[in-house]
Amino acid sequence: MQLRYAMTGVAVVLSLAGCQRTAYNDASYSSASAPAPLTAQPVPSVQGGQLPPPSGASQFPAAPTTGAPMAGQGGAMAANGGLDVTKESLVGSWRVNGSCDMFLTLTNLGSGSRGGTRGCVGELTAMRSWEVSGKQVVLKDVNGDQVGSVYKTADNAFSGQTKSGQPIALSR
């Protein structure tokens, strides 16, 4: 029995030995071991002037002008001219208009699959699900109402618009 107490005591002492507190001793830290301060460097003069007027180009890409005519709810572009698309090829992360992210999964949500956006503005913030309808990918809100739609234009590229007509460009 005493051996058991002795072994327990040794185990406690060894475990506490590994719990030493380490701290810097300010007296052992001298300014002689510190690096010398950097010297200032000359800076060239700054020039001032008037910027030219903006060229009138929008920060948003132009809406696609080729393909099928506008159709459906909210002016979503029909994808009659789009490439074939499968749900499996859409799963994963997409860059939206080069400024935010869209995530598409195969997890069921209502009549579609779960999806969402991060960092987007406008109508795309409400996107919660998606589904493939023919050659078109329909983006929906939590109530199942259409937020926008896109169609495949190339490998890893989709183009379309929101319900209000804002362009949507998905890429990987």
CATH code at position 124: 2.40.128.10
Distance CA 78, CA 55 (A): 32
Q: Can you give the pLDDT at residue 69?
A: 37
Does 44 fall in a domain? no
In a domain, 53, yes or no: no
What secondary structure does DSSP assign to 80-100, as a single string? TTSBP--HHHH-EEEEETTTE
Total domain count, the chain: 1
- Does residue 142 lie within any of the structural domains? yes
- Residues 6 or more apart whose CB falls under 8 angstroms from that of 166 comprise 60, 122, 123, 148
Q: Which residue has the tokens 């001219």?
A: 81
Residues 6 or more apart from 80 whose CB is under 8 A from it?
67, 68, 135
pLDDT, residue 56, reads 59
> Could you tell me if residue 63 is inside a domain?
no
Rounded Cα–Cα distance for residues 14 and 27 (Å):
30
pLDDT at 34: 72
Helix (H) or strand (E) holding 108: strand 100-109
Position 82 scores a pLDDT of 83
pTM given for the model:
0.54
Q: What is the pLDDT of residue 76?
A: 36
Positions of the chain with pLDDT lower than 70, given as ranges? 1-7, 9-33, 54-81
Asked if the structure places residue 41 within a domain, the reply is no
| pLDDT (0 to 100) of residue 161 | 96
User: Which pLDDT score is estimated for 92?
Assistant: 95
- Between the alpha carbon of residue 60 and those of residues 51, 106, 117, 139, the distances in Å are 22, 30, 18, 20
Q: In which domain, by residue range, is 99 found? A: 73-171
- Angstrom distance (rounded) from CA 129 to CA 108: 9
Q: Is 86 within 8 Å of 93 (Cβ atoms)?
A: no
